[in-house]
Structure 1
Amino acid sequence: MGLIGSIKSTKEMTYEAVNINGKFEAGKRAAPSWKKDTYRLFDKKGNMLEEYLYRNDGELKYRNTFTYNSNDQKIEELTYKPDSTLWYKYFLKYNPVGHLEEKILTKSDDHQISNWLFQYDNQGNKIEENQFFPNRSEPTLKTVYKYDKQGNKVEEYMYNAENTLIAKWLSKYDDKNLIIEEDYYYSDGSLNAKEAYSYEFDSKGNWIRQVISVDGTSKFIVIREIEYY
């Protein structure tokens, strides 16, 4: 998330960008399809302890809790329905150098749904992610990542079980390593959408307002409230 300082909680709410006298202000609740409103709680070491994800109407969609080992590596993630019924479990395993090696998804009764295997380059950047389903020896989805010299992900390619390209994403960053542009492409190489991001910051250097533009037009405003220890 790239947060600066000792963070106790963050709250992100997304709104429609409304042009009022030439300035874009937050209108009604709205968000792009990939974005969820969130409320996150952290310990003093920066580990996320709880995460609440909300629908555009403000209703809770689901809640996640996280458990860490003595090395502050996340080893378990539990997902709960709005009524607090356990929904899914994720178990995480690490290789000897501390990189996430495998992630396993199960139902609440421990029946395995899927697992992911990860590969890294010499700088510790995740360069490949393969998703498997039970009784299949080959991955159903493969995602390949490429990075710039600062370790920012600049290219992402997703492939199906036949190793055919499904989609790709190209990203650009500013001098703070914040994403400022992301282009989404179909499998045939044609542009699906172009998103751009601009920011306003608090005194600590964390962004507290993000404007999301789609194909050159300001569409959404994200307001982030940050509570510090």
Structure 2
Amino acid sequence: MKFIFLSAVLFLSTTIFSQKSDIKGNVKSIREKVISIEKEVYPKSTKEVTYIPLSGEYGEFGIINPRNTEKKFRITWIDDIHNSYINYKKEFNQKGLLTNETWYYSNKKIAYRWEYSYNKNDSLIQNKKFFGDNTDFTAYNITYDYQNRRKSEFHIASDNPNYGSMIIYEYDLNSNIKKISMYSSERGYENSAINFYNTNNKGTDVKIHVPYTYQKNEDGSYSARNDSVGTLYQRKKYIYDDKGMLTEILRYRNYEYNAKNELSNRIIYKYDKLNNLIEESYANPDTVSNSKFYSYNEKKQKIRYVYKSKYDNIEIDYIYDNNLLIGINYKNKEQYYTIIYKYKFDKKGNWVKQIKFVNGKPKHILKRKIKYFN
């Protein structure tokens, strides 16, 4: 039995349905794609430029959450000589809310499409996903209570109208989400995530309830048995310092693996006097397996990143021109390279083209066409 509600909640809670805050002007649409350069003389050339598409496209599982796909690309665009793929068009209404989103393969065929609808409070009420250029879709229909808090989500698929799932939200007196319950047309009640908070309304614990228990078999494995009471077990615990800064996350194993509240791993955070994150370590659960270190300038821009583990040691220095990232220096145990970014801007001051140079050679171009309402 899988906690299938988690992926649905994660998508809807982390997806941004409004115009990017770093883009100036009232944007009508954005068309963005990355191209890998096979041959180019830069900046001035009369020779024809030849391009090849990046390999891999959107991976084995395609795009589940477009924001995660976009986030992955932004990270690889900055920190790696190789990029993941990105090729989309987004359309907005005059309020800046995302209404349509289309992602393409490098051969120009449509990979996925999304349509978004909102209520009078500009809260998302439907997220409809289409596959390719056909009419089959999956949809999340969302309802809200009188305080405009998310009340429920109904998930349906056009090719299987007899099957669906539902998520119910419950809140405490401070409007914190205290419980998220998942139901399916196939099995009824599936599971719940129960959240606990401290007096500052910061989450302290996440526990999972399932409508069954696990019984140990003779061979040491476990089998699920339906139970009217069910099982409640720890999933996460959050620890804070006196300033209310998150210092540690304890993550526990899924109950189905060992039928115990057994600690799986920990994430430890450290901050400087200005509350900037300067260290992030992962432990399994008692021994630290890897650590990340961050340094900042007076503008709170990240200027250095260090990753240390048993297998690798990565150092990245970031170079800025005012608020614009113009390059990085990357070093690990096996290689050293420099990446420089060249920009072209439109009349609104938004970049419409980036060229990525690796060790002095142009490697990738990121193009963005922005249309405005005015």
Question: Is the TM-score greater than 0.5?
Answer: yes
- Of 51, 67, 78, which aligns to 2:70? 51
Residues 186-197 of structure 1: pairs in structure 2 closer than 5 A: 186-188=210-212, 189-197=230-238
Q: What whole-Å deviation, never above 9, does each CA across 1:79-133 have from its counterpart, x for those lacking one?
A: 5789998532221101233222211011132433211211111111111110111
Q: How many residues align?
A: 186
Q: What secondary structure does 2:96 align onto?
A: coil
- Of 239, 247, 258, which aligns to 1:198? 239
Kindly tell me: are residues 158 and 61 of structure 1, through their superposed partners in 2, closer, same or farther at Cα, counting changes over 3 Å? farther
- Of 139, 151, 173, which aligns to 1:127? 151
- Measured in 2, the distance between the counterparts of 1:69 and 1:61 equals 29
Please tell me the residue identity of whatever aligns with 1:134. Answer: S
Please tell me the residue identity of whatever aligns with 2:71. Answer: Y
Are 1:94 and 2:132 an aligned pair? no
Please tell me the residue identity of whatever aligns with 2:157. Answer: F
Query: Which residue of 1 is the match for residue 138 of structure 2?
Result: 114
Q: What secondary structure does 2:70 align onto?
A: strand
Instruction: Report how far residue 173 of structure 1 moved.
Output: 2.5
Q: What secondary structure does 1:52 align onto?
A: helix
* TM-score normalised by the chain length of structure 2: 0.39
Query: Which residue of 1 is the match for residue 192 of structure 2?
Result: 168
- Measured in 2, the distance between the counterparts of 1:99 and 1:163 equals 30
Are 1:219 and 2:265 an aligned pair? yes
- Measured in 2, the distance between the counterparts of 1:64 and 1:196 equals 38
Residues 26-41 of structure 1: pairs in structure 2 closer than 5 A: none
**Contact map agreement 2:110 2:132 (CA 8 A) in 1:** yes
- Measured in 2, the distance between the counterparts of 1:72 and 1:119 equals 21
* TM-score normalised by the chain length of structure 1: 0.60
Q: What secondary structure does 1:124 align onto?
A: coil
- Bigger drift between 123-132 and 104-113 goes to 104-113
Q: What whole-Å deviation, never above 9, does each CA across 1:149-203 have from its counterpart, x for those lacking one?
A: 332211111111157101111001345543221111213321354311235799x
Q: Which has the higher contact order (CA 8 A, sep 6+)?
A: 1
Unaligned runs of 5+ in 1: 1-32
Please tell me the residue identity of whatever aligns with 2:21. Answer: D
Kindly tell me: are residues 176 and 83 of structure 1, through their superposed partners in 2, closer, same or farther at Cα, counting changes over 3 Å? farther
**Contact map agreement 1:49 1:67 (CA 8 A) in 2:** no
Kindly tell me: are residues 175 and 160 of structure 1, through their superposed partners in 2, closer, same or farther at Cα, counting changes over 3 Å? same
Q: Which is strand-richer, 1 or 2?
A: 1
- Measured in 1, the distance between the counterparts of 2:266 and 2:106 equals 26
Query: Which residue of 2 is the match for residue 15 of structure 1?
Result: none
Query: Which residue of 2 is the match for residue 25 of structure 1?
Result: none
**Contact map agreement 1:169 1:182 (CA 8 A) in 2:** yes
- Measured in 1, the distance between the counterparts of 2:117 and 2:105 equals 25
**Contact map agreement 2:104 2:112 (CA 8 A) in 1:** yes
- Measured in 1, the distance between the counterparts of 2:103 and 2:240 equals 31
Larger Rg: 2
**Contact map agreement 1:211 1:218 (CA 8 A) in 2:** no
**Contact map agreement 1:185 1:193 (CA 8 A) in 2:** no
**Contact map agreement 2:117 2:126 (CA 8 A) in 1:** yes
Instruction: Report how far residue 139 of structure 1 moved.
Output: 5.8
- Of 147, 153, 162, which aligns to 2:171? 147
Please tell me the residue identity of whatever aligns with 1:212. Answer: L
Query: Which residue of 2 is the match for residue 8 of structure 1?
Result: none
Kindly tell me: are residues 74 and 199 of structure 1, through their superposed partners in 2, closer, same or farther at Cα, counting changes over 3 Å? farther
Kindly tell me: are residues 136 and 148 of structure 1, through their superposed partners in 2, closer, same or farther at Cα, counting changes over 3 Å? same
Q: Which is helix-richer, 1 or 2?
A: 2
